[in-house]
Chains A and B, each alone.
Chain A
Amino acid sequence: MSSQKTERLINLTLALLATKRYLTKSEIFKNVTGYSGSAETMERMFERDKDELRSMGIEIDVKALDPLFEDDQGYLIRSETFQLKGNEFAKDELLYLTMAANLWQSTALGNDSKAALLKIQSLSGPIESDVVNTPEIRDSENSSMLATAFDAIEYSKVLTFQYNGSDRVVEPLGMYTKTGFWYLVAKDENSFKSFKLLRIEGKLAISGKQNGFKKPENFDLVQYLEKMNNETVLLAEILVRKEQAFALRSKYVVSEFDDDWDLMVLPYSYEPEIIETLLWYGENLIVLKPESLRKSIKYSLKEFIDG
């Protein structure tokens, strides 16, 4: 039973793909193998088949063949919406595509990576794995959450989840990765916010249907991210013990201070982040300026000791 239906779906797709002109339903019922029974049965079969193919992302074009009779419609699948072109990519491009998709093999996007690789290899034939020794990405994200979020953004569906202990109902607008983690950008109660996917508690659920909200016209993901990264830059003046803190020395300019210490100026915008960087070097580093940063470091250390 199921096998017959699969066969019919394939034959229908092939017929609609091969035809140069729009096929009417009666032509389909007469010529495509697998349609049988009363007119009504075939009609129902066809409607279901069409919906299923569409839900799998296949675009079926419809055209009224006779403007006077709405019932007389024609169907076809445009090859360019269904298949890649044979000459779409050059040989070296296929290699780069393979490398790009390969990166994600062991991540939460592993299934999409695998599916993309299959299609690339269906254009290129086998590519020696030695040629494509690219690094792989490792993450601890949740694939179904990523898929839900992508879907919600693509089709403007409202998302619900728990975050920092409270219930959120948001309009998802974009996703980005930063230092290896995925973030969701969404409109939450009239402001744009970023949510770290890993911190979403419970289920990330779609609530409501497609086009459930209107994407704000003034929102642009790239601009939003730029704004987020363009915080005011402050400068920290620090002393670094000689022959220590090599990683910092390779990034910033150093000048001699005395026999034991060198002077370094470090830009920063977010205090907790710079404190983490500086305390990593323990006794081999002291902050001279600004006073506020010195104060925070002293406070953190006191808290830790009294813990």
Chain B
Amino acid sequence: MVDTAAIRALRTMDLIPYILENPGVSIRSLSERFSVTEKQIESDLQLVFMCGLPGYTPYELIDIIFEDGIVSVIDPQVLDKPRRFTKSELIVIALGLEILIGIGSSNPERNQKLKALSEKIAKLGSSNSVSFTPSGNNSIYAELIAEAISKRKNIQIRYSSLVKDQITDREVAPQRLYFMNGNLYLSAFDYGKKADRIFKVDLIKQCEITGTKNSEADEETNESLRVVLEVKKSHRNFIERNSSIISSVTENKDSFNVNIDISNIEWIRRSILSNAPGISVLSPDSLANEMRQSAASVLALYQAEK
């Protein structure tokens, strides 16, 4: 796609304050950050040589040094500061700050600063038509884990597994923290299991940094089971929440047929039962039978109870 003259003009004007604050930046890095080709960056910079203030003598032109793939700004003229944030950029920042406040509850001093910053951003014109609902179950250990990831340290955790319904102590090498469906997760290498595992951070009950990360991280390949489910439209939440492990979905009149690759059989058993009767198993038959039996034994509990 060819940029319009206006889009190109804005990008070129955005380059100047960026290079000014990041002197000696390479063309390659500019091309990555501004999401255009290196050739485009070069031609934008060529253009800058021609631009400046009325008079257009060397004293009034924007002056940059540009050689061997490295750029610096000598005289930015009036372009010494970046443009103001757009509405959607302010939304991204404002919502991000809300999330940081949510996960930083263990550090009141920092949260004070974050709240003050939020108000500043609101004054810059962030929209009051957009709102973030915190999930309210963030862990007090999020910051400690982030620190361990940065310093490449292992952590010792006490984890209350929702799927196995057990509390275990594990030593793990933390790799990444991420939010999905509003919950914070940690992906880490579990030394006991010798495999990568995903932990829900609010279920981590104790956490401390132990030692330096071991180099071993030879991942065990998880064998997975292909399961075909029929999910009623009223229960499509299940599909939306688990889109990352669903390989295909076909639509019927009142339901969807879903192919899903499962590495954790206990998880799918509990999910199916908790969505009853919204999800049924089409294949494999063994799982379908097993699920009917476990539903029957829960039902038996209710019938036995007076």
With A125-B21, A282-B294 as contacts: A32 and B166 at CB distance below 8 Å: no
Tell me if A9 and B132 are in contact (CB < 8 A).
no
Q: How far is the CA of A302 from the CA of B299 in the complex (A)?
A: 8
Minimal Cβ-Cβ distance residue in B for A30: B54
Interface residue? B207 (CB, 8 A): no
Identify which of A119, A133, A225 contacts B150 (C-beta below 8 A): A133
Q: Which of A49-57, A62-70, A202-210 contacts B (4 or more CB under 8 A)?
A: A49-57
Whether a CB of chain A sits under 8 angstroms from the CB of B18 is yes
| Shortest CB distance B79–A (Å) | 7
For B225-251 the 0/1 string (1 means CB < 8 A from A) is 000000000001000100110000000
**A118–B142 Cα gap in the complex (Å)?**
26
Q: Which residues of A contact B97 (CB under 8 A)?
A: 96, 100
Q: Which residues of B contact A56 (CB under 8 A)?
A: 6-7, 10
Contact B17 A122 (CB under 8 A): yes
Instruction: Check if B53 sits within 8 Å of A121, measured CB to CB.
Output: no
Distance, CA A275 to CA B8, complexed state (A): 55
Cross-chain contact A221 with B51 (CB below 8 angstroms): no
A286 B301 Cβ-Cβ under 8 A:
yes
Question: In the bound complex, do residue B183 and residue A13 qualify as a contact, i.e. CB atoms below 8 Å apart?
Answer: no
A294→B304 CA distance, assembly (Å): 13
The answer to whether A119 touches B83, judged by C-beta atoms less than 8 angstroms apart, is: yes
Say yes or no: B179 contacts A283, CB within 8 Å. no
A217 within 8 A of partner (CB): no
Q: Give A79-130 interface residues, CB cut-off 8 Å to B.
A: 79, 81-86, 89, 92-93, 96-97, 99-104, 109, 112-116, 118-119, 121-126, 130
Using known A-B contacts A14-B53, A279-B298, determine if residue A150 contacts B113 with beta carbons closer than 8 Å. no
Considering residues A13, A96, A101, A284, which has the most beta carbons from chain B within 10 angstroms of its beta carbon?
Answer: A96
The reply to whether A198 and B129 form a contact with Cβ atoms under 8 Å apart is no
Distance A2 CA – B83 CA, assembled complex (angstroms): 23
Residues of the A chain whose Cβ atoms lie less than 8 Å from the Cβ of B6: 9, 52-53, 55-56
| Chain A contact residues, majority secondary structure | helix
Contact A136 B178 (CB under 8 A): yes
Known: A3-B47, A247-B203, A304-B280. A180 touches B130 (CB 8 A): no
A166 at interface, CB cutoff 8 A: no
Are B93 and A85 in contact (CB-based, < 8 A)?
no
Q: How far is the CA of A31 from the CA of B55 in the complex (A)?
A: 7
B100 touching A100, Cβ below 8 Å: yes
Interface size bracket, B side? 35 or more
Which of these, B17, B80, B135, B178, contacts A179 with CB under 8 Å?
A: B135
Task: Give the residue name and chain of the B residue nearest to A4 (CB).
Answer: B5
Judging by beta carbons under 8 Å apart, are A10 and B82 in contact? Answer: no
| Cross-chain contact of B93 among A7, A79, A116, A288 (Cβ < 8 A) | A116
Q: Which of A33, A116, A122 contacts B20 (CB 8 A)?
A: A122
Asked if residues B277 and A307 are in contact (CB atoms below 8 Å), the reply is yes
Interface residues, chain A, with chain B CB atoms under 8 Å away: 2-3, 5-7, 9-11, 13-15, 17-18, 31-33, 52-53, 55-57, 79, 81-86, 89, 92-93, 96-97, 99-104, 109, 112-116, 118-119, 121-126, 130-131, 133-140, 147, 150, 153-154, 173-181, 196, 198-199, 221-222, 225, 229, 244-247, 250, 275-284, 286-288, 294, 297-298, 300-305, 307
A-B contact pairs, 26 of them (CB 8 A): A10-B9, A57-B86, A84-B84, A86-B80, A93-B120, A100-B96, A101-B89, A122-B18, A123-B82, A135-B146, A137-B179, A153-B130, A154-B87, A173-B129, A177-B182, A178-B182, A179-B133, A198-B240, A229-B133, A276-B275, A280-B271, A282-B298, A298-B302, A301-B277, A305-B292, A305-B299
With A5-B5, A130-B150 known, 14 other A-B pairs at CB within 8 A are A6-B8, A53-B6, A56-B10, A85-B81, A113-B92, A118-B33, A133-B147, A136-B179, A138-B178, A178-B182, A181-B240, A250-B205, A280-B273, A288-B305
